[in-house]
Structure 1
Amino acid sequence: MLIQYKVSVLILVLFLRCITSLSQTGYEKITVYKGIDYTELPDPHPADAVSWKNAPAEVMVSFGSADLRYAKSKPPAITTAITQWRTTAWKGEKVHTQVVISTKTPIKGLRITAGGLKDGKGHNIPATAVSTGFVRFVLTDSLNKEGHGCGIDTTATAHRELVADGIDCIAQKDLAAFTTQPVWVTIAVPQTAVAGKYTGLLYLHINGGTRTLPYSIQVKPFTLPSPAQWTYHLDLWQNPYAIARIYGVKEWSKEHLYRMRPFMQMLAGAGQKTITVSMIYDPWRSQTYDVYRSMIKWNKRKDGNWTYDYSIFDQWVGYMQSLGINKLINCYTMVPWNNKFYYYDEASQRDTLLIAKTGTPEYEAHWRPMLTAFVHHLKQKGWYHKTAIAMDERPLEDMQKVIRLVRSVDRDLKISLAGSYHGEIADEVYDYCIASAEKFDSLVLRKRTNAGLPTTYYTYCYEGRPNTFTFSPPAESTWLGWYAANKQFNGYLRWAYNCWPRNPMQDSRFSTWSAGDTYFVYPGGSSIRFERLIEGIQDYEKIRVLKELYKDQPAKLQPLLDVIKEFETAALNDQPAAAQLQKAKAVLNAY
């Protein structure tokens, strides 16, 4: 049974606790920091004394840019403090910037607070709509020598550096001398706000004194729908097993659900549409620190027949739907990367496995009874029409064999594929996601999007840019939404949302993939990458609203359509994502 929690109490308790937990091995100790300060790893490349000597002030406070990752051990390249911030937003939109504190002397208990915003006409945006978070520094690496994020150098001499990425929720922070500390500032404009110009103040409490930074926001007359109503098909793969390991709780216990809730609520707030289900053990050949277990227990009886326990599957799907993630249930996979299928064998009284390739008699004998039983169960639960058998990066021949088998059992069960474009099966795949370098046939693309089928793209470790590594320029995360608008995709997929490495709060590196490839958010909260990703989704939705609003006024819409066409991956070779977005947002904000 799902346990209902009062969200405000849950988040308060969760964010104020520091929990020391044991990993699944029982040997290594991982400390999880939620709302309590912790020690970041040493900077491999600290600044020299000369750079700090030339810094313009003992303690500099300035507005910065959401496009930059400020270095912890170096003074920022800001010669004159920027003391005002002006921004524009729709009603219902979330906008952000950074405040940068750079100090030559220690600061004890740095705090940042915000007052409400007023328009001078009696209308207010409450202080609760303004949030701040200390940006945390995590160890990262780089691309390989060919400019890709797959197969990078992991030797002791490989490049590594400390970068700003995580956004913490602690109330105050001590700063050592010769430190730069960014602070992420967010304004969530209420949908009920009255259009107009609002002004407010940020208060920085530094060593017994208070400094103020004024800012203003121009609220436009348009309203952005709430995330649940966004059409953008966001598919960030979840890993509930990583959360159980980090917090040292029993998988699928009440405590596990309790710990997962803030992360999955944060994902729902980004407009997530898909639930990630592992219907077999280890679908991806242990490519994550925390192996995916099967949410369905496969049991082969002594008489050779099969039974299936769906209790964890039901619990997980029901839980995610209760949080508003309810459009599609993607079940991985009928084609694992190692062709291994694990199950419990009653005859031998032990867990065992079958190794079988698609199309073989052994494979079909293993999957046909399961598919038959699974379809029956889905119909009983009322989930049949929103569930898909999902595969990723599998060859065409394997996909064709799987589709034939599925169709022989049930002609309407949905199929999902993230991989290369294959025109031969495009009509069979309900949820089709291709790599950013791939192309849909133009007629197929139009047919699919007109039918409302999820037709999306993904980035992965291969692309040097655009990407969402912990060292990637933050603007590239926003750029992704504009690229989708240009290419007529209706969403984006990324592996993964929270496949955390051993110690994600301090070290984002994992295996031979560029750091941050496996996760967007931290056990301590959100990230610059994740917030900028949401920004791009908001832009996509704003574009959609304007297209509908001005569909009968093509001349008025044309400037926006023209600037959207500039979002090509090749253009990033000559112009960084931040510069492209600056131009595009000027057009968008002119409406």
Structure 2
Amino acid sequence: MNIRVKAIVLIFSGLCSLGSLNGQIPMGVTHSGQSTSQAPFPLTQYTELKNPAPTDEESWKDLSGTRCAWGDTYTRYKKEVNPHLNQKKIDIKGWKGERVAAQLVVSSAIDLDNVSVEIAPLTHSSGKQSISADRILKGFVRYVMTDELNKNQKGTCGPRPDLSQFDSTLVADPIDHLAAALPIKAKTSQGYWIRVWIPEDAISGNYSSDVLIKNNHEVIGKLKLTIQVQQRTLPQPDQWAFHLDLWQNPFAVARYHQVPLWSEEHFRILKTELQPYADAGGKVITVPIMHHPWGGQTYDPYETMITWVRKIDGSWWFDYTIFDKWVEFMIDMGIKKEIGCYSMIPWKLSFLYFDQATNSMKELKSKPGEQAYHDLWLSMLKDFAAHLKSKGWFDITHIAMDERPMPDMLKALKIIREADPNFKVSLAGSLHKELSDELNDYCIAIAEKFSEEMKTKRKAEGKITTYYTCCAESHPNTYTFSNPAEGAWIAWYAAKENLDGYLRWALNSWTIEPLLDSRFYTWGAGDTYLLYPGGRTCLRFENLVAGIQAYEKIRILKTELQTQNKTATLRKLERVLESFDELQLLKTPANVVVEKANLFINGL
């Protein structure tokens, strides 16, 4: 635990102790040491942090009451600003099986004490079919504290020990489907998200519904939502080709919900927390096979799911109880294409194990190339291979590493092949042409580019070729201050580059109070998570899924156009894809590029 984390824990402990002594409810605290003024780790209801931005009085001059209107799905509407929206009707196009979304905004110059939104089932114009309420996700777009890019505007890498040095604001991001109603203070705007998952068996045509916005029982707004269901069908997420790899952190879930690790209650909660990943077509199960593969980079560090024991006679024994429970759970969730096991080359090159001879935990420090490292991992991987084969998981398991030096990778690969030549290996790191044949799953940063020859060869061999973004990128990215459309842009870019998908290192490595403050002491706000507690998604995640759906549509359309020999239309599609150039994002925001591209493919 580093000094910063220790300080935060001490602050938190002190606040809890003070509350207990005074007979009060203990108060939560953020990474900056700020009290949340409410109990820690809220679940169903919570109060946002105070908005540091002053009210934009000028924007409210022409509004005396309340206005409800449609906005767009790419904008984080500011709490303190009246956006002057007037659109009362919205028409969205979508394929059968696709999720489509709209965002409405309530702007009020007066206090509203109990605002709710009602939407009836969407009914087909013929009256013969409707889209039921269980296909609709709806929720307030809540506000969370964020910060900004580094002062040089180049990414967010590097320590942020004093968060006060960065501009901090409240931004719209979490979608709170658990709050049935919320108060809205005078001179405040509030977004609301409506997402409709069109049934695969829906008949094509227009489905419409009235959306009622109420304050208590009074209707304060009425909007019309129409979804134009097209002829084509998008398959179920588990059939999507897009290779989505978002690293899960079950340890953060146990801490936030205050339940014992790997208990029945923990797994029950995990099902809720990870369902959005499954619904997004998640392909990879994240498994730490040794303690702290990435050091302590997350607030809730990854512990090993395999227990390492050195017996009295010096031989090794491995307990796979937790590993088996976790993998079986994730497979039952529908996430079953790949098991990513981290890491043979951890950041600290330190391996923790239980030593029977001394009845204590011991640490072995060794690196690739040393005999102790060779012997340790050869014993482990041979035993691991036998266990995986007994469970029927060997063919989907990958010995996974990230951002490791080339010489270390080659030494580790030699041990892997000695243990079992058929082990699959994955790497998220730098591009090394000489490694390509060794890696079944190869992921590089967006700034690097696979050659067309390498991509073609890998695809022909059935290998996975993807890319990732991290704190190094200013754009595109998924910070809580990023343009939400950059989430969609990410998947469109994969289609443009003929890549299989995308990797992001953090699905739910939460901050101390993720619903309230997304800032972290090492990277930009939101870098550590895309999902919020309670199974809540967000603008970033919803846009990412929208982009993945576009990727699938492009794949289907390309096959269709090639079969029909429509070469002119194919060329137009390729020109649309060419507009997804990360170097142009400062000139042309992601929402402009994505919206134009969506208009094209939805018009085919």
Q: In which range does the TM-score fall when normalised by the shorter chain?
A: over 0.9
**Matched residues in 2 for 1:229 and 1:46: separation?**
48
**Matched residues in 2 for 1:406 and 1:431: separation?**
15
**Matched residues in 1 for 2:268 and 2:27: separation?**
16
1:276 alignment partner in structure 2: 286
1:538 to 528, 535, 549: 549
1:328 alignment partner in structure 2: 338
1:196 to 198, 205, 217: 205
2:69 to 62, 66, 81: 62
1:104 to 89, 109, 112: 109
Q: CA RMSD in A?
A: 1.8
Pick which of 571-580 and 246-255 moved more: 571-580
2:357 to 324, 347, 351: 347
Q: Is 1:406 aligned to residue 416 of structure 2?
A: yes
Aligned partner letter, 2:525: A
Q: Where does structure 1 lack aligned partners over 5 or more consecutive residues?
A: 1-18
Matches within 5 A, 1:533-572: 533-552=544-563, 553=565, 554-572=567-585
What's the CA shift for 1:531?
Answer: 0.6
What's the CA shift for 1:206?
Answer: 2.2
CA contact (8 A) 1:113 1:132 kept: no
Pick which of 66-75 and 474-483 moved more: 66-75
1:177 alignment partner in structure 2: 186
CA contact (8 A) 2:481 2:525 kept: yes
CA contact (8 A) 1:20 1:247 kept: no
Matches within 5 A, 1:114-193: 114-128=119-133, 129-147=135-153, 148-151=155-158, 153-155=160-162, 156-169=164-177, 170-193=179-202
1:72 alignment partner in structure 2: 79
Q: Is 1:89 aligned to residue 94 of structure 2?
A: yes
**Matched residues in 1 for 2:41 and 2:94: separation?**
35
What's the CA shift for 1:577?
Answer: 0.6
Q: Where does structure 2 lack aligned partners over 5 or more consecutive residues?
A: 1-24, 30-34
Q: 1:32 aligns to what SS in structure 2?
A: coil
Q: 1:260 aligns to what SS in structure 2?
A: helix
1:4 alignment partner in structure 2: none
CA contact (8 A) 1:123 1:194 kept: no
Task: Please give the per-residue CA displacement for 1:164-186, whole angstroms capped at 9, x wherever unaligned.
Answer: 00010211111122211100111
2:495 alignment partner in structure 1: 485
**Matched residues in 1 for 2:81 and 2:554: separation?**
39
Pick which of 178-187 and 461-470 moved more: 178-187
**Matched residues in 2 for 1:285 and 1:161: separation?**
30
What's the CA shift for 1:559?
Answer: 1.6
CA contact (8 A) 1:141 1:160 kept: yes
**Matched residues in 2 for 1:504 and 1:85: separation?**
32
**Matched residues in 1 for 2:159 and 2:27: separation?**
30
Task: Please give the per-residue CA displacement for 1:202-257, whole angstroms capped at 9, x wherever unaligned.
Answer: 11112432131012111110000000000100000000000000011000000100
Q: 1:33 aligns to what SS in structure 2?
A: coil
Q: Is 1:367 aligned to residue 377 of structure 2?
A: yes
Q: 1:42 aligns to what SS in structure 2?
A: coil
CA contact (8 A) 1:21 1:248 kept: no
Q: Is 1:42 aligned to residue 42 of structure 2?
A: no
Q: 1:551 aligns to what SS in structure 2?
A: helix
Q: 1:221 aligns to what SS in structure 2?
A: strand
**Matched residues in 2 for 1:568 and 1:245: separation?**
40
2:21 alignment partner in structure 1: none
Q: 1:97 aligns to what SS in structure 2?
A: strand
2:389 to 339, 361, 379: 379
Task: Please give the per-residue CA displacement for 1:283-324, whole angstroms capped at 9, x wherever unaligned.
Answer: 001000001110000000111001000000000000000010
What's the CA shift for 1:263?
Answer: 1.6
Aligned partner letter, 1:97: A
CA contact (8 A) 2:28 2:41 kept: no
**Matched residues in 2 for 1:20 and 1:125: separation?**
47
Q: Is 1:585 aligned to residue 574 of structure 2?
A: no
**Matched residues in 1 for 2:480 and 2:99: separation?**
22
**Matched residues in 2 for 1:192 and 1:114: separation?**
21
What's the CA shift for 1:152?
Answer: 6.0
**Matched residues in 2 for 1:51 and 1:551: separation?**
51
1:7 alignment partner in structure 2: none
Q: 1:31 aligns to what SS in structure 2?
A: coil
**Matched residues in 1 for 2:429 and 2:451: separation?**
15
**Matched residues in 2 for 1:451 and 1:118: separation?**
47
What's the CA shift for 1:508?
Answer: 0.2
Pick which of 197-206 and 319-328 moved more: 197-206
1:266 to 276, 284, 287: 276
CA contact (8 A) 1:387 1:414 kept: yes
Number of residue pairs aligned between Structure 1 and Structure 2: 566
2:461 to 451, 454, 462: 451
Task: Please give the per-residue CA displacement for 1:176-197, whole angstroms capped at 9, x wherever unaligned.
Answer: 2221110011111111111112
What's the CA shift for 1:153?
Answer: 4.6
Task: Please give the per-residue CA displacement for 1:425-480, whole angstroms capped at 9, x wherever unaligned.
Answer: 11000110000001112211111123332110000011000000000000000001
Q: Is 1:461 aligned to residue 471 of structure 2?
A: yes
Pick which of 43-52 and 180-189 moved more: 43-52
% identical aligned pairs: 42
Matches within 5 A, 1:450-529: 450-524=460-534, 525-529=536-540
CA contact (8 A) 1:274 1:328 kept: yes
Aligned partner letter, 2:229: V
1:227 to 229, 234, 237: 237
Pick which of 153-162 and 314-323 moved more: 153-162
**Matched residues in 2 for 1:33 and 1:526: separation?**
16
CA contact (8 A) 2:291 2:304 kept: yes
Pick which of 527-536 and 67-76 moved more: 67-76
TM-score by length of 1: 0.93
TM-score by length of 2: 0.91
**Structure-2 change in CA distance of 1:251 and 1:105 (3 Å):** same
What's the CA shift for 1:581?
Answer: 1.1
**Matched residues in 2 for 1:191 and 1:254: separation?**
34
**Matched residues in 2 for 1:262 and 1:67: separation?**
26
What's the CA shift for 1:49?
Answer: 3.6
**Structure-2 change in CA distance of 1:22 and 1:149 (3 Å):** closer
CA contact (8 A) 1:433 1:493 kept: yes
Q: 2:313 aligns to what SS in structure 1?
A: coil
**Structure-2 change in CA distance of 1:30 and 1:413 (3 Å):** farther
